[in-house]
Chain A
Amino acid sequence: MLKQTVTIHNRYGLHTRPATVLVTTASQFKSEVFITYRGIRVNAKSILGVLVLAVEPNAEVILETNGSDEAEAMQKLVELVEHKFYTEE
C-alpha cells in the first residue's frame, strides 16, 4: 500500500469537474484508491464519495493506493493533482 499527502490547488477545490477527472482516472486502475480529507476516508472511484468530501482550495488530502498497480496509480494521481486535474489553464 502507498500513501502520499498532496495539496489541491484548484481554484474551487475538488469541485465537480476535477472530481470527475479524479474518479475517472482512479477507476482505470485495478488497485483500490482512497482519498482522505479531515479524517474522512472515501473510495476515490466513487464520484459521490469524492464530492461529499468537499475538499477546499489549498487543502491537504491523503491519497492511498493498494493493489497490483498501486505505484503506477499513485504516480498518475499525483501528476493529476499537480496539474490541477488539467481543468484550469
Chain B
Amino acid sequence: MQVFTGICLSPGVAIGPAYRFVRDRFVIPDKIITTDDVESELARFKSAILKATAELEEIRALLAHQLDENHARMIDAQLMTLTDSDLLSIVENSVRQQHHNIIRAYYEAMNQYEALLTGSGHSYQQQRLVDLHDVKRRVVHHLSVTEDYGAPQLIEPAIFISERITPSDIINIYQQNALGVITQQGGRDSHAAILARAFGLPYLSEVADLDVILHSQEIILSADEGKIILEAPVEIRREYYRRVQTFNRERQMTALRTLKPISRDNITVNLLANVGFLSEVEPLANTLIGGIGLFRTEYLCIQNSAIPDEEKQFATYRAVVEAMHGKPVTFRTFDFGRDKLLSILNLSISTPSTATMLEGGIRFCLANPNLLRTQLRALLRASNFGSVQIMFPLVFNFNDVVQALQILNDVKGELHRNGIPFAPHLPVGIMVETDQILPELTRLVGLVDFFSIGTNDLALYLLKTDRQKSASNSYYEPKLLNAIAQILTVGESLPQSVTVCGEMAADPLAALGLLALGVRSLSVNPIAVYPLVRLIRKLSMKKLDFLRTALLQAQTAAETQALLKNWLENSLKPK
C-alpha cells in the first residue's frame, strides 16, 4: 500500500481510475510579419477573441444553470479580460508598429500583466493568475489551431489528475461525471476550488507524485484526510467503498435540496420517487422532488407478514402524506400475484382462480373486494391529511377500471354517510402496463385523472418476452417506444400528465428516450433521482424533437439505442 498526501481544497471521498489531463503546450513563433500582413493578423485576432468569448459565455451559462449567478460571476473577469481596451491597444500597437506576429504580440502583452500581478505579492490576487493564464491559453489556442480549445474529455467516471485545473475544466469534468480532482498546484481561494466545493467534487492539491499515482489501476482519494491511497489491502478498500457510498448519498441528498430538475431551456420535469416504506419517504421530504409517484402499498404486508387492518393502513398512509407536506403521493392499491407475495402471507381469501392469481393487480383485488374496500377506506381517510392519489395496477380492460371505480364510489358513499371526512376530488389513475388496455385508453378519458406507465410489464406484454430475460433490453424496442408515444397522445386529454414509473425511467439512457418522446413526469427509486436531475439539467428539451422523430422511425432496438447514445455523448461535448 502506498499513501500520498496533499491539501484538501474540497472535502469528500472518491475511488476510481485516473484520468490524466495535460494541456497542449503552445508554441510562440517569433516571426516578424510584413506590413501587408498587419490587417489579416488583426482580423485573425478578432476572430480568436470572438471564439474565446463564445466559449466562456457558454461556460458562464452552464455555471449559472448548474449552480447560480453568484458562481457564474467568477467567469466575468475572464470575459472582461478578453475585451480589455488597454490590452487590445497594446496588442494592436505591437502588431502595427513592431510587426510582431499576433500570437507573440498577445502572449507578451498578457505576460506583462501576469508579471505585474505576480509582483503585487498579494496572495488573494495570486489565485487570479490561474484565470488570467487560462484566458491567455484559450486565445493563443484559437490563434494557433483550428480545433477547439483543448478541454478534458472523460470517457468514464474517473479522478481528474493534472498539474493544475481551471474553472472551465471543473465545469466540464463535472458535466462528464468526474469523481474527484488531484492537482500539483491550486489554492483554497482559486475559482476552481470554490467550484469544486460547490459541486461536491473531492479535490486534493499540492500532490507531488502525479506520475506514480497515474500508474495505479484504482485510486482512493480521501480528500477529507488529505490522503491518496494506492494498492490498498482488501479490508481498507472495503472501508473506503463504504465511505464513498455515505459521501455520495449525503451529497445527493444535499444536491436534491437545491437542484431543480429543470432543463437548460427552462423546462421543468416532474420528478417523483417510487417507495414502499414510510422510512424511505422521510429523507425525501425536504428535497425538490414533486412527490411520490408510486407508493407500493403491498410492502406494508411484507412488513407485517399479513394484510394490515384499516387502522394500521390508515396510520401509515396518513404518516406518508403528512411527511410529504402536501406534495402528492400516488398510492398503488395492493398489487399481489406477480410478486408472489401471497405465498408468504398465508392469507385466508375467497378462493381465487389460478387465472386471477397469475394476473394479480386490480383483478386480484376485484376478486377479493373486501380487501380493496378496506384499503380504499384507509386511503380516503388519509386524504384528509395530505395529498392522496389512488392508482389501480395491471388493468386489462375498460371494465376492470369501471369496476374498481364503482367500488371506490361505494366506499366514498359509505364514508360520507358515516360523516367521515375525505378529499372529495382526489385524483384517480391507472397503471398502463398491459397491451390489452392500450386500445381502450381513449374510453378512459373522463373517467380517470392520470395514466402511469409501468414499463417493465408493458414491455413483457407487448413483446411477449420472458420475465427472466433482462427487461433493460426491451427499453429500446421500437414497439415499446411507439406504444409509449401512443399513451402520451391519449394522456394529453387527461387532467394530469402521463408519468412513467417503471425501471426504464431510472436508466439514464432510456430516460433520455422517454424525455424525447415527450414524457414530462418520471417516477423512480430514490437512488435514481439524483442521476436523473443531473441528466435533465444537461439537456435542452426543445432540441429533443429531432430525436423523437428519429426514435419513432427506427426499425430496431440497436438503432434506437445508438441514436440515444450519440445524442447523450454530443450533448456533453466540453466547451
CB nearest neighbor in B for A17: B73
Does A71 sit at the interface, judged by CB under 8 A?
A: no
Q: How far is the CA of A11 from the CA of B313 in the complex (A)?
A: 58
Of the four ranges (under 10, 10 to 19, 20 to 34, 35 or more), the interface on chain B belongs to 20 to 34
Cβ-defined contact, A45 with B85, below 8 A: yes
Q: B117–A51 contact, CB under 8 A?
A: yes
Measured between beta carbons, the chain B residues less than 8 angstroms from A12 are 124
Using Cβ atoms and an 8 Å threshold, which residues of chain B touch A49?
84, 86
Chain B residue nearest to A43 (CB atoms) is: B86
Residue on B with the closest CB to A56?
B122
Cβ contact within 8 Å between B128 and A51: yes
> Residue-by-residue, is B72-104 near A (CB-CB < 8 Å gives 1, otherwise 0)?
011011001100111100000000000000000
Q: Beyond the given A47-B80, A54-B125, please list 7 additional residue pairs across the A-B interface where CB-CB is below 8 A.
A: A13-B124, A15-B128, A24-B80, A43-B86, A48-B84, A51-B77, A56-B122
Q: A25 in the interface, Cβ–Cβ < 8 Å?
A: no
Q: Is the C-beta of B120 less than 8 angstroms from some C-beta in chain A? A: yes
B108 to chain A, nearest CB (A): 14
Considering only residues 115-134 of chain B, those with a C-beta below 8 Å from chain A are 116-117, 120-122, 124-125, 128, 131-132
Known A43-B85, A46-B84, A47-B84: A54·B73 in contact at CB below 8 Å: no
Q: CB within 8 Å of B: which of A2-56?
A: 12-13, 15-17, 19-20, 23-24, 42-43, 45-49, 51-54, 56
Neighbour of B125 across the interface among A15, A42, A46, A47, CB < 8 A: A15
User: Which chain B residues have a beta carbon within 8 Å of chain A's beta carbons?
Assistant: 73-74, 76-77, 80-81, 84-87, 113, 116-117, 120-122, 124-125, 128, 131-132
| Cβ-defined contact, A52 with B124, below 8 A | no
Contacting pair A46 B120 (CB below 8 A): no
Residues of B within 8 A of A42 (CB): 86
Chain A, residue nearest B129 (CB):
A51
Interface size class on chain A is 20 to 34
CB nearest to A46 among chain B residues:
B86
Find out whether the CB atom of A52 lies under 8 angstroms from the CB atom of B73.
no
Q: Are B77 and A20 in contact, with the CB atoms below 8 A? A: yes
What's the minimum C-beta distance from B122 to chain A, rounded to whole angstroms?
4
Residues on A with C-beta less than 8 A from B121 are 54
Which residues on the B side are within 8 Å of A17 (C-beta)? Answer: 73
A–B complex contacts, Cβ < 8 Å, 14 sampled: A13-B122, A15-B125, A16-B74, A16-B128, A20-B76, A23-B80, A45-B86, A46-B87, A47-B80, A48-B132, A51-B125, A54-B117, A54-B125, A56-B122
CB nearest to B116 among chain A residues: A52
Inside 8 A of A46's CB, which chain B residues have their CB?
84-87
**Contacts A16-B128, A19-B77 given: A52-B122 contact, CB under 8 Å?**
no
Please, which residues of chain B bring their CB within 8 A of the CB of A16?
A: 74, 77, 128, 131
How long is the Cα–Cα vector from A43 to B117 in the complex, in angstroms?
A: 16
Whether B117 and A47, one on each chain, are in contact in the complex, defined by CB atoms closer than 8 angstroms, is: no
Residues of B within 8 A of A53 (CB): 120
Q: Which residue of B lies closest to A53 (CB)?
A: B120
Cβ of A67 to closest chain B Cβ, rounded Å: 15
With A47-B81, A48-B87: A15-B117 Cβ-Cβ less than 8 Å: no
Given A46-B87, A47-B84, A52:B120 Cβ within 8 A = yes
Assess whether A54 is in contact with B77, with CB atoms less than 8 Å apart. no
Cβ contact of B113, chosen from A15, A24, A48, A56, cutoff 8 A: A48
Instruction: Across the interface, name the chain B residue whose C-beta is closest to A16.
Output: B77
